[in-house]
Each structure stands twice: as structure tokens, then as C-alpha cells.
Copies of this chain bind each other. A is one copy, B any other.
Amino acid sequence: MATGLVLYGYWRSSAAYRVRIALALKGLAWENRVVHLVKDGGQQHAADYAAMNPQQLVPSLRDGERVLTQSLAIMEYLEETRPEPPLLPADARGRARVRSLAQLVACDIHPLGNLRVLQYLERELGVGEAQRGAWSRHWIATGFAALEAMLAGNAATGRYCHGDTPGLADACLVPQLYNARRWKLPLDDYPTIVRIDAACHELEAFRVAAPEAQPDAL
């Protein structure tokens, strides 16, 4: 029987990047399986991968014989099965806050700028490169404006999104900021987001999880 954690991901996928951060924060060893999102017409569409993850998206996490999908569900599973150090606060109110910050990114920013969406805009709707860039920046800016207000206006925000311990919300924020920089979104309006991102990058866990630190990085 297979043991250990195997992550099926791609260096530049925000969702895979989140899970790498969570794994690193918990100090867990994992085996890397690259699913190249462009090569071979997208290896996420290959039959063996699609059988494991019918959404044909990354990441998937294998834990022994179990296969888990959806980055937030994977991180909650890691939290439940490997509770130390925790990625969620101890109180229900704090957990709700951290989850809402994480979901703001994972539900309301990231899916709109995903590769498959940009491909649809280009191929089905004939949306050009400049307008695709404007689209991506628009949704990040809209989400970041709300995220900045929720972070700057709340006493629970500390060195990281919630207090002085990095967690689930930071694991979503940092990859989204990486993506924002790829799209050259001006960041002047989001000082708290930028400050928290910088604090995270001082931690080894975030450095080893970064896209450029992955073996499949271009």
C-alpha cells in the first residue's frame, strides 16, 4: 500500500502553490509529481490524471490510497490529520474570519484569472491580449480592495492575516500577490497586503514553496 504524501501540481499554479505553503508550514515531506498545464495540450487532461481528478485541474494530493482535490479542502484535511502547527485559529470566530479571507481569494479572485478562463476569452470570445490583461487585473484589484479593507480595518490582523502566526489565509494571499505581479497590477493601494506578503517571504516555508523554487520552473 502506498504511503506518504504526493502532490500533483504545477510550479505556477496558485492553487498548487497554496498547498505547497501549507505542507511547508506543517513541516511535511511530500513527493512532487508535475502536471504540466501547457505541455501535451495540458497534462491535466490526460486520461490517468482525469480519472484521479475529474475536474482536470491541479492540485491533487495523494495521501496513501486517498486522493484529495480542491486546494482549500486539501488544506483543511491537512489541518485535521496533521494538526501541528495549526493553520487555523482556535476559536470559531477566528476560523470564520480566516476562512472568509481565504475564500475571498480562492472563490472570488483566482477562478476568474485561471488559465482555462483566459483560454475561453481568447478562443471563444476573441478577446485580445490587452483586454485579457485588463480582465485579470480588474478581478484582482476588485478582490484586493476588499481584502485590504478587511485586513487594515480589523484588530485581529497582525504580522500575518490573522495574528502573528502564518496560516490558511496567508497561504492564499501570497500566491495571489505573485499572480498580481505577473499581471503587473500596481500595488500602491494595498499596503497591508504587501506588508503581509513581505513578512511571509521572510519565512523558509514560503520560500521553499515559491514557484521559482520548484524543479519544473522554467
Contact = CB atoms under 8 A, between A and B. Distances in A.
A68 interface: yes
Interface string A67-107: 01110111011001100000000001101100110011011
A117 B108 CA distance: 10
A4 interface: no
Nearest to A103: B70
A133 to B, nearest CB: 12
Nearest to A147: B54
Interface residues of A, number: 48
B146 A55 contact: yes
Interface of A: 54-57, 66, 68-70, 72-74, 76-77, 80-81, 92-93, 95-96, 99-100, 103-104, 106-108, 110-112, 116-117, 120-121, 124-125, 127, 131, 134-135, 138, 142-143, 145-147, 149-150, 153
Nearest to A79: B92
Given A111-B111, A112-B117, A77 B54 contact: no
Contacts of A142: 116
A73, A120, A135, A145: residue with the most chain B Cβ atoms closer than 10 Å: A73
A75 B73 CA distance: 14
Contacts of A68: 96, 100
Contact of A95 (B76, B103, B124, B146): B76
Given A80-B95, A95-B80, A107-B106, A73 B100 contact: yes
